[in-house]
Every structure is written in structure tokens, then in C-alpha cells.
Structure 1
Amino acid sequence: MYNTMNDWAPPLIAAALFWLLSPGMLFQLPGKNKPFEFMNMKTTVASIFVHTVIYGLFLILFFIVLTIHLYI
């Protein structure tokens, strides 16, 4: 059986995805002026919702579908 107290993959992956998928950090979908904008550091309610859905889907993919673990 695995010891989940030493599994560092979930917090590291979640923090990295949160940083990368923050609206306006790398991209914004949908943008203020165009459907897809790069590094504009601005946000809208629609882009927050879209990025939240993408973040949740990536978390489900990494933790449930792929079952990634990192034991240190």
C-alpha cells in the first residue's frame, strides 16, 4: 500500500497548473479584444470560468486518469 503522506505529485502539479493557467499569465481564452490573447495580464469573468474548467480537467487527467505519483 502507498503512503499518501509522502506523495508530492498532487500539490506540485496543482500549484504549477494554477500558476500556468491563471488568466492572462500565458494566455487568455476568451480575450478582451480577440478570442485568444497571449500574456496580456488582464482577465474577464468569462476567461476565469474557462480557465477554471481547463484547470479542473487537467487535475482530473493527472490525478484520476493517469494516477501520477512522486514519492520523495
Structure 2
Amino acid sequence: MADWAPVLIGVVLFVLLSPGLLFQLPGNNRHVEFGSLKTNGKAVVVHTLIFFAIFTILILALRVHIYTG
């Protein structure tokens, strides 16, 4: 049986935390921008750190598992 939790959680977080898609922190003109579809280097770093923190908490600390088959 394969554990699909890291794959599914990673894909969902990647889509939701893509800078500029839903929100961007820090924005180009303001601290937080919503739906701007533009990004900058600072936002990429911040969203990467947020992704890593949430992914690590879900997979390692909470031990989320999704088995198929």
C-alpha cells in the first residue's frame, strides 16, 4: 500500500500557495495583495517558507496518511 498523503498535500498546498494566485505576501504595492497574478522574489521566498512549514506540520507532526488499494 502506498502512502499518498505527501503527494496530495504537496499538490494542494503548491496550488493554493502559488504567489499571486490567491494572495501574495508581500505584494508589489501593498503588504498583502489578492489575485494580482504577479509576483516578486520576496513573495516566492515567503510562500516557500509557508509551504514548508505547513507541509512539515501535516506530514511529520500530525502524521497524516492516505492509503489506497
TM category, shorter: over 0.9
Which aligned segments of 4 or more residues in structure 1 are displaced greater than 2 angstroms? Answer: none
- Stretches of structure 2 that go unaligned for 5 or more consecutive residues are none
More strand by share: 2
Q: Residue 38 of structure 2 is aligned with which of 39, 42, 45?
A: 42
- Stretches of structure 1 that go unaligned for 5 or more consecutive residues are none
Identity level (%): 46
CA distance in 2, matches of 1:42, 1:36: 12
TM-score (norm 1): 0.91
Shift, 1:68, TM fit: 0.1
Give 1:27's aligned residue. Answer: 23
Cα RMSD (Å): 0.7
Aligned length: 68
